[in-house]
Amino acid sequence: MKSLTSPWLRAKHWQIFLLVFGVYCAGQIAAMNSILAAGSPEAGVSNLFGVLMTLFGVFFLSWFWSMGSFLGSIVREDLRLKFGFFRFALIYPFFYGMVFFRFILPISEPVQLLLIVPFHLLAMLCVFYIAYFGSKSLALAEAGKPVSFYDHAAAFFLLCFFPIGVWIIQPNRLYAERRKIADQLIHAAA
């Protein structure tokens, strides 16, 4: 797991922003180009849009997974949040977006569209929980004691507004401190 999370945690905030938000913007440009080329929105969007939005989802959720896993692991055991729902919350929105929007969105029957509502609400809840988990874990890691929502509300809202929040929230300072301590322990043991 360390090798997968390490690049995300070592990255500077602007690198995360350019990678994730850049892929998102490229996907939106691909969608607009395919709509303009076809002459109508009903013609659909290109496969390039689907690929770029999949990459965006993978990058976006990978950053949250890396951040949440790292921060959760450095919090004291008695304060640590449970990882079970966090893992589900990371996986569900991605698969919901990939499967349901790919196959169900073209359906225009009102009854079938109403069936999507609970699944969509669950996906929204998952995204908010991911932001909650990351913000609370960050506050717990920095404070080292129990925190209230007031203590991590700013981080929560910054994570909810990802393109802006990544500039402030990226925990590479904490990651660098932990790496330095680990390196010192390894050199002391050798």
Residue 80 is classified by DSSP as P
pTM for the full predicted model: 0.75
Q: In the chain, what are the domain boundaries?
A: 2-185
Sign of CA dihedral 99, 100, 103, 105: negative
Which residues, 6+ apart, have CB-to-CB distance to 125 below 8 Å?
A: 89
pLDDT of residue 117: 80
Q: What is the rounded CA–CA span in Å between residue 86 and residue 53?
A: 22
Give the number of other Cβ atoms within 10 Å of residue 144's Cβ.
11
Say which residues have a Cβ less than 8 Å from residue 8's Cβ, sequence separation at least 6: 16, 62, 63, 66, 67
What letter does residue 46 receive in the DSSP assignment? -
Q: Quick one: pLDDT at residue 1?
A: 47
Rounded CA-CA distance 81/178 in Å is: 19
Q: Which stretches in the chain have pLDDT values below 50?
A: 1
* Residue indicated by tokens 């393109």: 163
Helix axes 84-95, 110-143, angle to 10 degrees: 140
The pLDDT, as a whole number, for residue 126 is 92
Position 45 scores a pLDDT of 60
Quote the pLDDT of residue 178: 59
